[in-house]
Structure 1
Amino acid sequence: MPCAALESPTGSTDELRRPVLLDPRIHVRGGFSCGEPALDDWPHRYSGQNRRGNTAATWVIANAENQVAGCATLSMTGIDHSRAPVALTENAPDPVPAMLVGRLAVDRRSAGLGIGTVLVERVLVTAVNLDSHAACRAVGPR
């Protein structure tokens, strides 16, 4: 389904899709390049094995040809009370349940289209949904 929030420079919205969980059978990950080697390799080399191992889930935005244009990985973590703000630790277990944004990248060819913003929105929606089912008190970067 096209994502109206992601208009291309030509105004077309059918070039990019809404964020979905990565499906290695569908999404084309080769050729992804954001300019940071560790992030360039992530969608192709590590996202599938992390999902199979239940250690991280990768959300992607792809174009009509299913080429990945942006990705964000999420996993569960805990924040030690000694490293967290007091407001976060008040009446919370130690460690504080949280969701980790481990990788966030946009392919250079899609830079400036709002893909990173939409992926962050997806992360926050996921955190809210998770909190209503299993408790997630914080969202943090790697």
Structure 2
Amino acid sequence: MTGFRLPRVEPLDIHHDRSIFCCGEEALDQYIRSHAGQDIRRNLTSVFVAVDDPGGQIIGYYTLSAASFSRDDLPEELARKLPRYPIPAALIGRLAVDRRFHGQQYGKFLLLNVFERVMRASDAIAIHAMVVEAKDDKAAAFYAKYGFVMFSGQPRRLFLPLARLKARC
């Protein structure tokens, strides 16, 4: 973890300079620069940024929103334990780290922050699992390393039951 400094994580707002954020994925860069604010105002997602303290520059960001899924999407051994109505979840819509900070464990830091935030939220509202739709196989492998498993027949759509996360804490 050479070079790792513990950043602040806070909700995205107008004082954050998003113009220079560059993670290397155009869709993720464009989202934080041009669309995140609008999605926040319309209450479609919450956006959280990790900020480097001296300069206040954005190291990385993630989005969270409410979601649900069908038990039919799960592997059989998990599906049979759940009801037939929609299963409540938290959706990690995007997670990205600026290129200047790649290789310094900030992706892991952001994901652990997601875990903490969702666990706190689950005290107030029902959340059975976290869901993510990985952009590519590399991103899917990143999430799998932290315990996410694939939905049946959907290799880039993964979930992590909160019970598994709570068991690790």
TM-score by length of 1: 0.83
The structure whose residues are more often strand, as a share, is 2
Give the structure 2 partner of residue 23 of structure 1. Answer: 13
Note the C-alpha offset of 1:92: 3.9
Cα 1:47–1:94, aligned 2, differ >3 Å: closer, same or farther? same
What is the aligned-residue RMSD (CA, Å)? 1.9
Selected match of 1:106 from 91, 94, 97: 97
Rounded to whole Å, the distance in 2 between the matches of 1:33 and 1:132 is 35
Deviations 1:44-70 (A, max 9, x none): 111111111111111111222222110
Q: Which structure 1 residue ranges, 4+ long, deviate > 3 Å from structure 2?
A: none
Name the count of aligned residue pairs: 131
State the structure with bigger RCO (CA 8 A, min sep 6), 1 or 2: 1
Report if the CA contact (8 A) 1:56-1:73 is conserved: yes
Task: Select which of 61, 68, 93 maps to 1:78.
Answer: 68
Q: How does 1:16-95 map to 2 (within 5 A)?
A: 17-24=7-14, 26-63=15-52, 64-86=54-76, 87=78, 90-92=81-83, 94-95=85-86
Query: Aligned residue for 1:136?
Result: 127
CA 22–96 in structure 1, closer or farther in 2 if over 3 Å, else same? same
Alignment-derived partner of residue 158 in structure 2:
none
**In structure 2, C-alpha distance between the alignment counterparts of 1:34 and 1:130, rounded to whole Å:** 28
